[in-house]
């Protein structure tokens, strides 16, 4: 992962020693809602005009797209030359910077309806459609989606305005900046953050909608209300909503109908577009819209004629929904008026199941029941749960965006814990093996959510679901840590910046979850020790975790971080019993801290051998002390015993002396007699 | 087969034990018979021993202690005091009148009974002296223990003084530092 160490100076920022970005020269004409554009220079190719997009804080970029599109050349795509994370002095933080080839002809349209210009019908195929189809074909073959195709994100590549290209789609989550009018109905119904990566069909739809607007020379997203456009699309179809009233050339009507088809299976794909471009004419598609019921379903003061509209109505009146649906009227309406008996039976089962469920939390049961009813009424709709509406593949973007904004993530967590994705997959009309794989992935995430320990929980889900999310810990959020190898340098920068005010916690829940999600080695046991009740043990565990990261990834020394940890580890010295060892650690800690080697610090504080020696030595010392104490007390309290012993021993000694003297006397007498 | 062999071995063991006891008692009987046979030839010695070792006999009869060291202590020196007279009897005139004359000699009696008196004195004086020595040794040991305990506390802290606490309840810690070898 490119995470440059170059530090930007006040007047220029360097990316990868090659691109010079000038913070003082903004390019508002090339900016997007999620990223600001700045003048840039390529040191290697001086004459090549380039610009830099600096992504705003809290917006995760699309890493797979950045990796795939880097270096790709396509007539319909803005060339992505380089990307990386580097210091951004104006914001005093690190930022994701993407270097693109600079379009010299400017934007097709400005944002929010400004500079709306009609392009001549005669030139539109050559200048816009042809390069766009080339781009869509390449994106399809690369297996990625653009998800930011709109007139305001299309540029004339040359000053002659002879070729339009799609602008940046990688800086922000898919579909985040798209107006609802340019999104397929199901994506338009979801929150912008949760529109998901989608498929190539989404890009084709967005291009179709953009083309319809360019042909008419009007920005529908500005001229019509969002809700009205969506309703029009549902009732009459997207083509009718976006281009129905315009008088368009017949040849373009065909391609527009193909691209704006609401049925994703019927919608034209990249090959069909290519065939059309090569002159093969197909019969224009007739929009297949949902059959209207013979009578409306009254709900919350409104009348609904289709399941999709009713699902929208239920979502908008979530809290009052079940009271109005729970008396069997909905099943009756579906079976008789909407002529959809299977759905009616499904809903009857769900309502019966919800009522029978003896779960303690009635509100929770109601929410699950309403969510399932919405899924059945509109099988193509996003996953709706309370105030959340997201495409199933959009959860991975919605969650980090909500978390970064400090929003309420409880609804998302609740939806995952209550296995709403599983319910969503089981209500699909057509079985897809891919869904089973995705469902298994969500089950894994539920497993993380069920464990409240540090290293798990919602934080873990954020990083597991999306590898483009930088670590959101307050300690390193300004350092834009995308990969594990950048974490230590980020913490080091934090320690350096804060000095003595760095605080007492080095690894919070976000950092622990980030490490667990990004590490490709076993670190679970060590991270688990971060949840121990003993603060000294937690501090040693923090050092061990970071040391393993440094050791495994072969990272350089980080002196500020190590000094900070060494300072915090002082109370942990008391976990050793041996006073000499304690004194040695007190002496060594500052030196090891200055050296910046976390591995050495870890080994100094928590060496298995030293710990074992200390424990065994202490146990032996305790035993020795106890024995000595017992003996001492026995001596002090045992005078009677000494008296008895002295009597016994004294008598023995006296006897011995007596017998010895007798022998000596006899021996002397015998000697005198015979010598 | 093995059982039979075992039984045979047991039986032979028993018989050999019985044989040993019988042999020993035969020897004892033989010694007693020999001793009785010698009595007529050693009456002067027995006379002198009986009269000279009377304090030892008294000590043996009056000592009520478990170890019964008194008669050994008194007897040793009593016999040492009687030894010159005994040797004179054995190597001079081993006759009853001579033995009687020895017994009536004040010098002989003084030596024998004086020895016994010294034996008694030794018997009573030795225990207090030994007590004093033992007391001094114990004090020195206690001081050494105190010093060792103080050293342990200095080396391992006051936590080491866990007299009366339950032992062996703590789990041995396992350091989780980065291993020295890349795994």
What pLDDT, in 10s, does the model give residues A64-107? 999 999 999 999 999 999 999 999 999 999 999 999 999 999 89
A135: enclosing H helix or E strand: helix A130-142
Confidence band, pLDDT 50/70/90 cuts, at residue A358: low
The string of pLDDT tens digits covering residues A194-227 is 999 999 999 999 999 999 998 888 888 777 788 8
Domain span at B92:
43-130
Confidence (pLDDT) at B165 = 52
CB within 8 Å of A217: residues ≥ 6 apart: A116, A117, A118, A119
Contact yes or no for A642 and B80 at CB 8 A: no
pLDDT > 60? residue A239: yes
- CB contacts of B145 in chain A (<8 Å) are 628-629, 631-632, 635
| Candidates A616, A651, A653, partner chain B, best to mutate (most B CBs within 10 A) | A651
For residues A410 and A140, what is the distance between their CA atoms, to the nearest angstrom?
Answer: 36
* Cβ contacts of B169 on chain A, cutoff 8 Å: none
Please say if the pLDDT value at position A124 is more than 70. Answer: yes
pTM above 0.80, yes or no: no
Q: Give per-residue pLDDT as tens, A441-496.
A: 999 999 999 998 999 999 999 999 999 999 999 999 999 999 999 999 999 999 99
Residues contacting B150, CB < 8 A, separation 6+: none
Q: Identify which of A579, A642, A652 has the shortest CB distance to residue B157.
A: A579
Interchain contact, B173 vs A632, CB within 8 Å: no
Chain A stretch 545-604, residues whose beta carbon is closer than 8 A to a beta carbon of chain B: 547-548, 551, 575, 577-580, 599, 602-603
How sure is the predictor about B163, in pLDDT bands with cuts at 50, 70 and 90?
low
Mean pLDDT, chain A, whole residue set: 89
pLDDT of residue A4: 44
The answer to whether A633 contacts chain B (CB < 8 Å) is: no
Unique residue bearing structure tokens 């009732």? A235
Say if the Cβ atoms of B77 and A658 lie within 8 Å: yes
Q: Percent of chain A scored above 70 by pLDDT?
A: 95
Taking Cα atoms as reference points, which of A108, A552, A558 lies closest to residue B183?
Answer: A552
**Contact state of A608 with B148 under an 8 Å Cβ cutoff:** no
Judged by CB atoms closer than 8 Å, whether chains meet at A654 and B73 is answered as yes
| Residues from chain A contacting residue B49 (CB–CB below 8 Å) | none
Q: Which chain B residues are within 8 Å of A579, Cβ to Cβ?
A: 154-157
pLDDT digits (tens, 9 = 90+) for A274-314: 999 888 776 666 667 778 889 999 998 899 999 999 999 99
Among A55-59, A103-107, A363-367, B161-165, the minimum mean pLDDT is found in: B161-165
- The more confidently predicted of residues B159 and A78 is A78
pLDDT in tens, B64-105: 888 889 999 999 999 999 999 988 888 888 888 888 888 889
Q: Which residues of A touch B91 (CB under 8 A)?
A: 673
CA A496 to mean position of chain CA atoms: 27
Give yes or no for residue A440 having a pLDDT over 70.
Answer: yes
Q: For residues A57 and A613, give the distance between their C-alpha atoms in angstroms, rounded to a whole number.
A: 50
Q: Is residue B145 part of a domain?
A: no
CA pair distance A310, A298, nearest whole angstrom: 9
Higher pLDDT, A9 or A656: A656
Q: Which one of B80, B173, B180 has the shortest CB-CB distance to A662?
A: B80
Nearest CB neighbour to A544, from listed B70, B80, B176: B176
Q: Is residue B125 part of a domain?
A: yes
Q: Which residues of A touch B149 (CB under 8 A)?
A: 625, 628-629, 632
Rounded to an integer, the average pLDDT of B132-157 is 90
* Interatomic CA distance for residues A276 and A254, integer angstroms: 9
Q: How far is A644 from chain B (nearest CA, A)?
A: 9
User: Does the ipTM exceed 0.90?
Assistant: no
pLDDT tens for each residue of A496-508: 998 888 788 899 9
Q: What is the pLDDT of residue B160?
A: 86
In a domain, B80, yes or no: yes
How high is the pLDDT of residue A355? Answer: 55
| Closest Cα in chain A, distance from residue B175 (Å) | 4
Cβ-defined contacts of B97-103 (< 8 Å, 24+): B98/B44, B99/B43, B99/B44, B99/B45, B99/B47, B99/B48, B100/B47, B102/B48, B103/B47, B103/B48, B103/B51, B103/B52
- Let me know if residue B56 belongs to a domain: yes
Phi, psi at A236, each rounded to 5°: -110, -10
| B71 assigned to some structural domain | yes
Residue range B41-56: mean pLDDT, rounded: 88
Is residue B67 domain-resident? Answer: yes
- The string of pLDDT tens digits covering residues A545-556 is 999 999 999 999
Q: Look at A662 and B149 and tell me if their CB atoms are within 8 Å.
A: no
A525 — contact with chain B (CB < 8 Å)? yes
- DSSP calls for A17-63: TTEEEEEEEE-GGG-BTTEEEEEEEESSSTTSEEEEEEEPTT----H
Confidence band (pLDDT; 50, 70, 90) for A414? very high
Q: Given a cut of 50, is residue A1 above it in pLDDT? A: no
Residue B10 has pLDDT above 60, yes or no: no
Using the predicted structure, report yes or no on whether residue A191 has a pLDDT greater than 90. Answer: yes
- A8 falls in which pLDDT band (50, 70, 90)? very low
Kindly state whether residue B167 falls inside one of the protein's structural domains. Answer: no
Q: Chain A partners of B151 at a C-beta cutoff of 8 Å?
A: none
φ/ψ bin of A339: left (φ > 0), alpha (ψ from -120 to 50), beta (otherwise): left
The residue assigned the tokens 């030596």 is: B111
How many domains does chain B divide into?
1
Contact A606 B176 (CB under 8 A): yes
Q: Is residue B21 part of a domain?
A: no
Considering only CB atoms, which chain A residues are within 8 Å of B132? 646
- Reply yes or no on whether the pLDDT at A47 is more than 50: yes
In this prediction, residue A574 has a pLDDT band, given cuts at 50, 70 and 90, of confident
């Amino acid at each position: 992962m490119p995470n440059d160490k170059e530090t930007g100076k006040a007047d220029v920022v360097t990316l990868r020693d090659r691109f010079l970005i000038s913070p003082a020269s903004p390019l508002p004409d090339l900016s997007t809602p999620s990223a600001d554009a700045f003048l840039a220079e390529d040191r290697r190719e001086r004459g090549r005009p380039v610009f830099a997009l600096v992504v705003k804080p809290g917006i995760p970029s699309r890493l797979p797209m950045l990796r795939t599109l880097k270096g790709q050349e396509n007539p319909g795509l803005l060339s992505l030359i380089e990307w990386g994370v580097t210091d951004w002095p104006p914001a005093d933080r690190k930022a994701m910077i993407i270097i693109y080839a600079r379009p010299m002809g400017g934007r097709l349209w400005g944002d929010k309806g400004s500079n709306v210009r009609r392009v001549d019908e005669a030139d539109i195929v050559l200048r816009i459609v042809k390069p766009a189809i080339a781009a869509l074909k390449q994106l399809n073959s690369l297996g990625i989606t653009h998800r930011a195709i709109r007139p305001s994100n299309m540029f004339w590549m040359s000053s002659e305005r002879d070729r339009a290209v799609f602008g940046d789609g990688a800086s922000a989550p898919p579909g985040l900046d798209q107006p609802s009018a340019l999104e397929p109905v199901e994506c338009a119904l979801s929150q912008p953050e949760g529109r998901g990566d989608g498929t190539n069909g989404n890009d084709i739809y967005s291009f179709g909608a953009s083309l319809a607007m360019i042909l008419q020379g009007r920005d529908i997203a500005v001229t019509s209300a969002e809700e009205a456009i969506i309703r029009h699309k549902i009732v009459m179809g997207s083509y009718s909503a976006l281009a129905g009233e315009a008088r368009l050339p017949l040849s373009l009507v065909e391609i527009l109908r193909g691209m704006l088809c609401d049925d994703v299976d019927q919608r034209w794909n990249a090959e069909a577009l290519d065939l059309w471009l090569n002159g093969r004419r197909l019969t224009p598609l007739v929009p297949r819209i949902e059959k209207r019921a013979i009578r409306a379903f009254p709900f919350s003061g409104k009348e609904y004629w289709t399941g999709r509209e009713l699902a929208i109505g239920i979502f908008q009146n979530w809290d009052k929904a079940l009271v109005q649906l729970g008396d069997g009227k909905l099943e009756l309406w579906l079976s008789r008026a909407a002529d959809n008996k299977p759905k009616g039976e499904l809903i009857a089962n769900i309502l019966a199941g919800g009522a029978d469920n003896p779960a303690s939390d009635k509100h929770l049961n109601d929410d699950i029941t309403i969510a399932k009813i919405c899924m059945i009424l509109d099988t193509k709709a996003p996953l709706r749960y309370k105030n959340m509406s997201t495409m199933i593949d959009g959860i991975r973007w919605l969650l980090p965006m909500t978390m970064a904004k400090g929003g309420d993530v409880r609804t998302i967590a609740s939806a995952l814990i209550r296995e709403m994705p599983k319910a969503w997959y089981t209500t699909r009309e057509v079985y897809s093996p891919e869904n089973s794989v995705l469902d298994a992935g969500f089950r894994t995430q539920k497993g993380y959510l069920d464990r409240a320990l540090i290293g798990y929980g919602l934080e873990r889900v954020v990083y597991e679901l999306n590898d483009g999310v930088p670590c959101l810990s307050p300690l390193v959020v300004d350092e834009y840590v995308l990969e594990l190898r950048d974490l230590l340098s980020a913490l080091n920068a934090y320690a350096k910046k804060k000095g003595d005010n760095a605080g007492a916690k080095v690894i919070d829940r976000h950092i622990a979850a980030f490490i667990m999600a990004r590490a490709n080695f076993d670190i679970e046991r060590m991270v688990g020790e971060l949840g121990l009740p003993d603060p000294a043990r937690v501090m040693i565990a923090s050092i061990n975790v970071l040391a393993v990261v440094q050791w495994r990834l072969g990272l350089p020394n980080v002196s500020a971080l190590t000094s900070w940890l060494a300072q915090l580890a002082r109370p942990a010295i008391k976990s050793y019993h041996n006073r000499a060892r304690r004194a040695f650690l007190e002496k060594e800690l500052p030196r090891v801290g200055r050296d910046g080697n976390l591995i050495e610090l870890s080994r100094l504080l928590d060496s298995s051998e030293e710990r074992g020696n200390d424990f065994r030595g202490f146990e032996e010392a305790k035993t020795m002390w106890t024995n000595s104490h017992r003996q001492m007390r026995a001596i002090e309290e045992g005078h009677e015993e000494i008296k008895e012993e002295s009597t016994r021993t004294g008598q023995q000694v006296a006897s011995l002396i007596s017998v010895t003297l007798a022998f000596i006397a006899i021996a002397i007498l015998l000697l005198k007699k015979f010598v | 087969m093995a059982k039979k062999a075992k039984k045979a071995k047991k039986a032979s063991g028993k018989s050999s034990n019985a044989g040993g006891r019988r042999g020993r008692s035969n020897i004892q009987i033989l010694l007693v018979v020999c001793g009785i046979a010698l009595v007529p030839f050693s009456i002067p010695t027995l006379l002198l021993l009986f009269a000279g070792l009377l304090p030892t006999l008294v000590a043996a009869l009056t000592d009520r202690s478990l170890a019964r060291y008194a008669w050994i202590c008194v007897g040793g020196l009593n016999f040492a005091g009687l030894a010159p007279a005994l040797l004179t009897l054995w190597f001079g005139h081993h006759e009853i009148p001579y033995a009687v004359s020895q017994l009536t000699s004040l010098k002989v009696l003084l030596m024998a009974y004086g020895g016994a008196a010294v034996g008694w004195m030794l018997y009573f004086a030795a225990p207090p002296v030994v007590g004093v020595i033992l007391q001094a040794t114990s004090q020195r040991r206690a001081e050494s223990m105190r010093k060792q305990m103080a050293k342990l506390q200095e080396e391992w802290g006051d936590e080491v003084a866990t007299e009366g606490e339950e032992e062996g309840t703590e789990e041995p810690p396992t350091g989780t530092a980065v291993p020295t070898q890349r795994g």
